[in-house]
Amino acid sequence: MNVRITSLKVFVDLAETGSFSETASHHGISQPAVSQQIGGLEAEFSAPLVERSRRRFRLTPAGEALLLTAKQVLADLDGLKNRIANLKHSYSGVMLMSTTAHLGIEWLPKLQTALQTDYPHLSLEATYRPASRVYADVVGNVADFALVTCPVKDDRYETVILAEEPFILVTSAKPGRARVELDLKKTPFVAYSADTHTSSLVQQKLQELDYHTAPILHFDHPESVLRALQATHGFTYLPLESVKEALASGELIELFPTHKKTVRQISAVFLKQRMDQPLLQAFRRFLEDFSRQQPGNLHPMPGIAENQREERELSAA
């Protein structure tokens, strides 16, 4: 059976008002669209629901039976929505996050603000670790989840991608320099080496450009990289968000702007064997909702495809 919730709402309104025009106005659709919704229900139940031959609106016996059930279904759904909304206020406690310093500084305030809106009695605390330690914290139950870049593929974990961060290749602007004239093999490279996964991603892209020289400097933070670029007139890969202002002011030049952008995924990683805990399930749902609100996500998010499909079906209903 493929009965849509919207069709049931239209049918109940039509039964109560007895007017196609009033029902259409209430739902912001046309009268033919109301007829189409009713026709869809009649096709689903293989029975006429409205006596169309009479001048006065009237339900058929099948329509009367559906009306009683439809009202109950819609009332049950409203009650369910209220119960789910109230659940958010019943969750309390502290979620422990293991992450690197550069990710925590950027993402902890965003997550805390959103969490207080949705789950006011649930708080978030972060422990800053080297990138090589955060997965071990999750496996060892030291942390409830890890916030990582470029998540690894491992059957032990469930992953929610919070954002997809484009990286671009940039160089410092100096008199007479044009992007088409820059020879990467003769230009110093300043590395943004916030973690090993990001470094590996950048090195892979540089090799695709046939550039294999080791970086002259390493920094953990984009601001430090930008200052080094000004001093060395070198080039680097940096997150697009961190260089927007410098590009707009002309301090930086984007190299190979027509090339496909490199993308770094920012993800929350949970240990699968602990995901039967209601608090972790609720927090994961929060992160999934949070991720959908982040601009610029380029691809479907692994690990939540089933939830997305269910949501599309409910939205269509």
pLDDT digits (tens, 9 = 90+) for 3-49: 788 899 999 999 999 888 899 998 889 999 999 999 999 998 999 99
Q: Give me the CATH code for the 92-317 domain, please.
A: 3.40.190.290
Q: Where in the chain is the domain with CATH 1.10.10.10?
A: 5-88
Q: Each residue of 185-226: pLDDT tens digit? A: 788 899 988 778 888 888 888 888 888 778 888 888 888 999
Whose tokens are 């972790």? That residue is: 280
Q: Where in the chain is the domain with CATH 3.40.190.290?
A: 92-317
| pLDDT score for 250 | 87
| pLDDT score for 87 | 57
CA distances from 114 to 120, 123, 142, 286, 291 (A): 9, 11, 24, 9, 11
User: Residue 268 in contact with residue 145, Cβ under 8 Å?
Assistant: yes
User: Residue 285 in contact with residue 268, Cβ under 8 Å?
Assistant: no
Which overall architecture, per CATH, does domain 5-88 show?
Answer: Orthogonal Bundle (1.10)
CA distances from 306 to 13, 40, 131, 156 (A): 32, 26, 29, 19
| Number of residues in the chain | 317
| pLDDT score for 55 | 66
